[in-house]
Amino acid sequence: MSKQFDVVVIGGGPGGYIAAIRAAQLGFNAACIDEWKNDKGGPAPGGTCTNVGCIPSKALLQSSEHFEHAGHGFADHGISMNDLKIDIAKMIGRKDSVVKQNNDGILYLFKKNKVTFFHGRGSFVAAKDGAYEVKVAGATEETITAKHVIVATGSNARQLPGAPFDEVNILSNDGALRIPAVPKKLGVIGSGVIGLEMGSVWRRLGAEVTILEALPAFLGAADESVAKEAAKVFKKQGLNIELGVKISGVENGKSGVTVKYTDAKGAEQSLAVDKLIVSIGRVANTIGLNPEAVGLKLDERGAVVVDDECKTNLPNVWAIGDVVRGPMLAHKAEEEGVAVAERIAGQHGHVNFNTIPWVIYTSPEIAWVGKTEQQLKADGVAYKAGQFPFLANGRARALGDTTGFVKFLADAKTDEILGVHIIGPMASELISEAVVAMEFKASAEDIARICHAHPSLSEATKEAALAVDKRTLNF
Ligand code: FAD
Ligand code: NAI
């Protein structure tokens, strides 16, 4: 008889492994199937996020930031560096070991929470007697049965037509995280999150980076004032960003890649680079899942169709994370995983899409939650704005990192916080206060009246809240 489970999760990324752990915490007999292999063929749970996404990119961002500080920032502190060098192989090796610590951590968490882990590909076989048969194809093959199935199969990088990834010259996020030597010239197609983060890594290490973006506006999802500041700073750092381009062809030759494109003025251009990163978004992944076997409904882009509660068209089949609608973010996937496990247990799991933070880990970091000023204008909402620059923050001055600002948007009548936008040092950490405030429906005045430690970057948050009422104390 096949092994039987209450809940089987297909996919062990941040959505899937967290869903399996929460299901087990709630008393279910839970299993998680994940096919990712490490370089020795062993299991590497954690999905895109752990293996070729959030974690390794932040490891390289940290290494490259240290290098840049050592080369350009230390002198101001009276620290001199002679003969600065970077060992790329060591940097990549460190990143790989950070990834492995996370893979091993998840395997440990499965054991701790009594989640059964299967290393292999999970695919639907049939729906039978109120349950689902799922085949696991790994080193061995077996079929297991589940009352509830959570699909968490994630996403893959979108290819540019006519420019397939070879991960040698034309790189997805995977190849972009393991370039063996700093390319002299690096091209990036797409100035979204990956383009900016990976472009920053390799620029800091010495590459001449050109980013080609189709849209005429830079960072359209961010608040316009943040996008404007970011464009100014990135340009000064040496990131060459061309907007409004139309790629007409990509030639992958022996000595590098040539990109042909029409620029914003309509002129034909050609860019020759040693390596090309293509980061033009990601597509939902259901390869090998065999959704047809049970009639699982996908949309025209291949994403699993779900309602607000992550229910699919099939009873007791749920889907979460990058494989469904909504932002492709690890923390969104995790929140959906927890909510679905709780719904299966008859509880009221909930994900508040209005308070999902966004972070871009460039330098300066960019982070926001809630509405942008342009969205509020478009929605006809009456609002007040308050802004405070890091230039006037004592801790930022001591750090030597005074770029950027914190900006609050609050309802003109009720003062409820509608959005917070930060560009500056440690924006990724500072944004949490705004998320908590918005989750509790706080007003700007609430934040303005809370005691913030001195000297700290968070005082800029308090001051931006005060600025909503035009009563900053330090600016
Ligand atoms: P995934 O992480 O993609 O995991 C899906 C897993 O399912 C994979 O392990 C896959 O092998 C497995 N799988 C697929 N099909 C099957 C099958 N049939 N059987 C068994 N296993 C299967 N997000 C952030 O929030 N912050 C960041 O800083 C951030 N940085 C990123 C940097 C990069 C370079 C990239 C590419 C992405 C980044 N993201 C970041 C996005 C984040 O990685 C994704 O949103 C997140 O991983 C989605 O989680 P998931 O669980 O839905 O899917
Ligand atoms: P993205 O959606 O962030 O950006 C893609 C960019 O490519 C857009 O600006 C788009 O206009 C542009 N583009 C699309 N087609 C193009 C074309 N043919 N020519 C030129 N430009 C084109 O996607 P990206 O950077 O690939 O990242 C995928 C997702 O991964 C992100 O949306 C995000 O959800 C996640 N991610 C999150 C990170 C974080 O939270 N810090 C870091 C990296 C990725």
CATH number for the domain that contains residue 215: 3.50.50.60
Written as six digits, the tokens of 119 are: 């290393």
DSSP state of 73: I
Nearest atom in ligand 2 to 247's CA:
19
- The answer, yes or no, to whether any atom of ligand 1 lies below 6 A from the CB of 10, is yes
Q: How confident is the model at residue 255 (pLDDT cuts 50, 70, 90)?
A: confident
Single-letter residue type at 303? A
Backbone φ and ψ for 68, nearest 5 degrees, come out as -65, -40
Same domain for 297 and 246: no
Same domain for 287 and 271: no
Q: Are 260 and 272 in contact (CB under 8 A)?
A: no
- The answer, yes or no, to whether any atom of ligand 1 lies below 6 A from the CB of 173, is yes
- The answer, yes or no, to whether any atom of ligand 1 lies below 6 A from the CB of 420, is no
Q: Are 180 and 347 in contact (CB under 8 A)?
A: no
Backbone φ and ψ for 22, nearest 5 degrees, come out as -65, -40
pLDDT higher than threshold 90 for residue 287: yes
Q: Token match 């290393």: residue?
A: 119
Q: Is 122 a known ligand-binding residue? A: yes
pTM: 0.98
Q: Is 298 a known ligand-binding residue? A: no
Q: What is the mean pLDDT of the chain?
A: 97
Q: What is the pLDDT of residues 415-426, one digit of tens each?
A: 999 999 999 999
- The answer, yes or no, to whether any atom of ligand 1 lies below 6 A from the CB of 458, is no
Distance of CA 117 to the CA centre of its chain: 25
DSSP state of 455: S
Pick the catalytic residue: 77, 119, 148, 454?
A: 454
Please give the residue range of the domain that contains residue 288: 3-157+283-351
pLDDT higher than threshold 80 for residue 1: no
Q: Which of 106, 98, 157 is nearest to 328 (CA)?
A: 157
Same domain for 221 and 76: no
Widest CA span of the chain, in angstroms? 73
Q: Is 160 a known ligand-binding residue? A: no
Nearest CA to ligand 2 atom 9: 192
Nearest CA to ligand 1 atom 21: 34
User: 196 CA to middle of ligand 2, Å?
Assistant: 9
- Dihedral sign from CA coordinates of 10, 15, 193, 418: positive
Q: Looking at the domain assignment, is residue 475 inside a domain?
A: no
Same domain for 454 and 379: yes
Ligand closest to 222 (CA) is 2
Alpha-carbon distance of 122 to 31, in angstroms, equals: 11
Cis peptide before 455 (omega within 30 of 0): yes
% of residues, the chain, pLDDT over 70: 100
Same domain for 299 and 152: yes
Same domain for 59 and 151: yes
User: 41 CA to middle of ligand 2, Å?
Assistant: 30
Look at strands 365-370 and 417-424 and give their pairing: antiparallel
User: 125 CA to middle of ligand 2, Å?
Assistant: 34
Q: Is 326 a known ligand-binding residue? A: no
Choosing from 280, 301, 323, the residue where a domain stops is: 280
pLDDT at 36: 98
Same domain for 112 and 138: yes
Choosing from 321, 351, 381, the residue where a domain stops is: 351
Written as six digits, the tokens of 361 are: 């880990």
Q: Is 196 a known ligand-binding residue? A: yes
Q: DSSP letters of 157-184?
A: EPPBTTB---SSSEE-HHHHT--SS--S
Q: What is the pLDDT of residues 346-405, one digit of tens each?
A: 999 999 999 999 999 999 999 999 999 999 999 999 999 999 999 999 999 999 999 999
Q: What is the pLDDT of residues 110-131, one digit of tens each?
A: 999 999 999 999 999 999 999 9
Residues forming a β-bridge with 69:
none
HEC profile of 190-207:
CCCHHHHHHHHHHHHCCC
pLDDT higher than threshold 80 for residue 266: yes
pLDDT at 115: 98
Q: Which of 144, 151, 112 is nearest to 128 (CA)?
A: 144
Alpha-carbon distance of 321 to 304, in angstroms, equals: 10
Orientation angle between helical segments 54-68 and 193-204, nearest 10 degrees: 40
Q: What is the pLDDT of residues 304-355, one digit of tens each?
A: 999 999 999 999 999 999 999 999 999 999 999 999 999 999 999 999 999 9
Cis peptide before 364 (omega within 30 of 0): yes
Catalytic residue flag (residue 454): yes
CATH number for the domain that contains residue 403: 3.30.390.30
Q: How confident is the model at residue 152 (pLDDT cuts 50, 70, 90)?
A: very high
Ligand closest to 158 (CA) is 2
Based on the structure, what is the number of domains in the chain?
3
